[in-house]
């Protein structure tokens, strides 16, 4: 075989080997070369980075090896053997989203009782040895004078009952233009006060029947009503006390309404 044909054949093998290198493969190419051309071709192969080895096969006395591709192939095989496949089970389960916080609600300090419920509650307080204080009014337009009276009344005992005139009772005592705030709103507002433990409504012109049914330990009224406090006789007859508390000067629902309408 001539050197030109051998070189042309090597060029084909080189291009073939490069195509395998681009595919990331390592291959061993058997070559059948005559002895006179071995030394010349070996030099070309060393320049290209190839290695020629003797083969035990008499038909293929020389074999062509590519060390770089063989080394890369070994590393790839070792990596695939030691690397575990990524499975969904290898990852922790995503945390469940926490439920949204419940909306804040306004909790009243006291509650609104019917007359029957209030009588039962009064008996429970009596058994517990609590001193029950009772007062009443329209409380149509809540002002600082009301707050001061309620706090002083609450300081006299352990529980304060506030009886509110119903809408019909307010119209009966104050006229057709009142109340300014309906009874449900006035009751909710009174129940939100810290000084008040129970709220109830009465339709009568005075709370005398309610006081007689409750029989509080202390009956409280503003000093402007000291000349007539409904339920005084019933409370004093049962051993209770009646207290008239001075009013805060400058505060009156009627006067406030008149100034607003003026």
DSSP secondary structure letter of residue 108: -
The beta-strand segments (E) located in the chain are: 29-31, 51-54, 62-65, 111-112, 132-137, 159-165, 198-202, 218-222, 241-245
Give 57-78 pLDDT, tens digit per residue.
656 555 555 555 555 556 656 5
Order across the sheet with 51-54: list the strands: 29-31, 62-65, 51-54
Q: How far is CA 2 from CA 37, 42, 97, in A?
A: 8, 15, 79
pLDDT for 85 equals 54
pLDDT for 185 equals 94
CA-to-CA distance for 136 and 219, rounded, in angstroms? Answer: 9
pLDDT for 129 equals 96
Highest mean pLDDT of the ranges 66-80, 84-98, 101-115: 101-115
Give the residue carrying structure tokens 């070994």: 74
Q: Is the pLDDT of residue 47 over 70?
A: no
Task: Work out the pLDDT band at 29, boundaries 50, 70, 90.
Answer: very low
Give 118-162 pLDDT, tens digit per residue.
999 999 999 999 999 999 999 988 888 999 999 999 999 999 999
Instruction: Select the more confidently predicted residue: 163 or 225.
Output: 163
Q: State CA 157 to chain mean position distance.
A: 40
**29 in Cβ contact with 17 (< 8 Å):** yes
Q: What is the mean pLDDT of residues 26-50?
A: 47
**29 in Cβ contact with 63 (< 8 Å):** yes
CA-to-CA distance for 212 and 194, rounded, in angstroms? Answer: 26
Answer yes or no: pTM beyond 0.85: no
Give 202-237 pLDDT, tens digit per residue.
999 899 999 999 999 999 998 887 788 999 999 999
Looking at the chain, the whole-number percentage of residues with pLDDT higher than 70 is 60
Degrees to nearest 5, angle at CA 113 with 105 and 206: 130
Looking at the chain, the whole-number percentage of residues with pLDDT higher than 90 is 42
Task: Work out the pLDDT band at 176, boundaries 50, 70, 90.
Answer: confident
**245 in Cβ contact with 222 (< 8 Å):** yes
pLDDT for 251 equals 76
pLDDT for 3 equals 47
């Amino acid at each position: 075989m001539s050197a030109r044909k051998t070189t042309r054949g090597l060029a084909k093998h080189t291009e073939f080997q490069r195509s395998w290198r681009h595919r990331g493969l390592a291959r061993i190419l058997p070559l059948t070369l005559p002895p006179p051309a071995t030394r010349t071709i070996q030099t070309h192969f060393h320049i290209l980075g190839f290695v020629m080895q003797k083969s035990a096969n008499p038909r293929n006395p020389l074999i062509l090896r590519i060390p770089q591709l063989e080394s890369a192939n070994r590393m790839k095989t070792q990596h695939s053997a030691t690397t575990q496949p990524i499975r969904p089970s290898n990852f922790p389960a995503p945390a469940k989203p926490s439920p949204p916080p419940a909306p804040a609600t306004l909790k009243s300090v006291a509650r609104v009782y019917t007359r029957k419920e209030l009588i039962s509650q009064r008996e429970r307080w009596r058994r517990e040895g609590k001193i029950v204080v009772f007062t009443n009014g329209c409380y149509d337009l809540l002002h600082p004078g009301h707050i001061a009276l309620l706090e002083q009344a609450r300081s006299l005992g352990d529980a304060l009952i506030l009886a509110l005139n119903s809408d019909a009772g307010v119209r009966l005592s104050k006229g057709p233009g009142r109340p300014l705030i309906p009874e449900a709103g006035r009751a909710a507002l009174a129940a939100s006060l810290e000084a008040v433990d129970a709220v109830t409504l009465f339709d009568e012109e005075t709370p005398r029947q309610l006081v007689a049914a409750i029989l509080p330990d202390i009956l409280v009224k503003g000093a402007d009503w000291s000349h007539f406090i409904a339920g005084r006789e019933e409370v004093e007859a049962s051993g209770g006390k009646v207290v008239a508390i001075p009013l805060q000067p400058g505060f009156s629902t009627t006067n406030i309404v008149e100034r607003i309408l003026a």
